[in-house]
Amino acid sequence: MTVVPPAPPHPVEPGLLSRALEVAGRLANDAADVITATAGRGAHPETRANPFDWVTDTDHTLERHTRRVLAKEFPGIPVIAEEFGAEAHPPGAEYRWLVDPVDGTANYVAGIPWCAYSLALMDSAGPVVGVVADPYRGQIYAAARGRGIRANGAPVRLDPHAGVAGGIVCAELTRAGPWPGMGEFITAAAQAHTGVRVLGSAALAVAQVALGHAVAAVLDSYREWDVAGSIALALESGAVILDRHGRRRSLPADGMLVATPAAAADVLSWWQGGG
């Protein structure tokens, strides 16, 4: 597969970029403190129609706090979030915020140390700024268009030559369980000496590619607020983002593959073959 270079990103006013990055980072730090203080210790889950689809007081608290801060700092930019939906979209609004206060809520409720807070500022071309708080590792991952990715302030860039052999691919279940062909996908990966991990947070799955810990992440379905922050990281790290047909998209409509350039073709073929 020949990877087509991405289109030049839309320019963003530098002052807005810097301010959005600073505010988003502050909110991510707030969220990390709350999550680590409460996870598995007195969380009050409320189940939805699916008993495994949790929502907690922490989800509500963090989303409300995020909305309050963003409304004050960026009036007129709508916020779209998991728990309380979307604000009215002002006519002609150029930007929108996407937030998932706790991605991996079932892990959070159980006290399993694998969940995240995700926040991104979006325009028509995709993420402008993205942050992901990884509370249990004490890490804040942040990226802004054209400015690269940082983990706790230290620059990060993936190895474009990292291939599938000996690597890790992150995958996630759909809301209904394994996606069609997931078993065949795992078998193909194993035959290529590649490990597959299903850990329960779409945001952190994609972030692992951006950070160079995994060579790919496959999400057969997802909600945009789950991954918008980590997609910003992936784009700035040099990862390839493809839909299931192999086309470059920043937020594909029907599942996504995020991979190192060297791993993208192999993992895409497993995904397409499995499906």
* % of the chain residues with pLDDT over 70: 86
**The two domains 14-156 and 168-273 share their CATH topology (first three levels equal):** no
Taking alpha carbons only, the member of 95, 134, 120, 141 closest to residue 225 is 120
The answer on whether 159 is annotated among ligand-binding residues is no
Mean pLDDT of the chain: 89
pTM here is: 0.90
The answer on whether 226 is annotated among ligand-binding residues is yes
Examine the pLDDT at 88 and tell me if it is beyond 50.
Answer: no
The answer on whether 100 is annotated among ligand-binding residues is yes
Answer for the pair 199, 239: CB distance below 8 angstroms, yes or no. Answer: no
The answer on whether 103 is annotated among ligand-binding residues is yes
Q: Who's near 157: CB < 8 A, 6+ residues apart?
A: 148, 149, 212, 237, 238
- Could you confirm whether domain 14-156 is CATH 3.30.540.10? yes
- Which tens digits make up the pLDDT trace of 34-57? 999 987 664 555 555 544 445 678
The pLDDT of residue 32: 97
Cα separation of 116 and 129, whole Å?
Answer: 16
- Which tens digits make up the pLDDT trace of 2-42? 344 444 456 788 899 999 999 999 999 999 999 999 876 64
The CATH class of the 168-273 domain is: alpha beta
Question: Coil, strand or helix: which one is 77?
Answer: coil
126/44: higher pLDDT: 126
Examine the pLDDT at 267 and tell me if it is beyond 80.
Answer: yes
Q: Domain boundaries in the chain?
A: 14-156, 168-273
Distances (CA, A) of 196 to 115, 166, 200: 18, 11, 13
Taking alpha carbons only, the member of 168, 247, 252 closest to residue 3 is 247
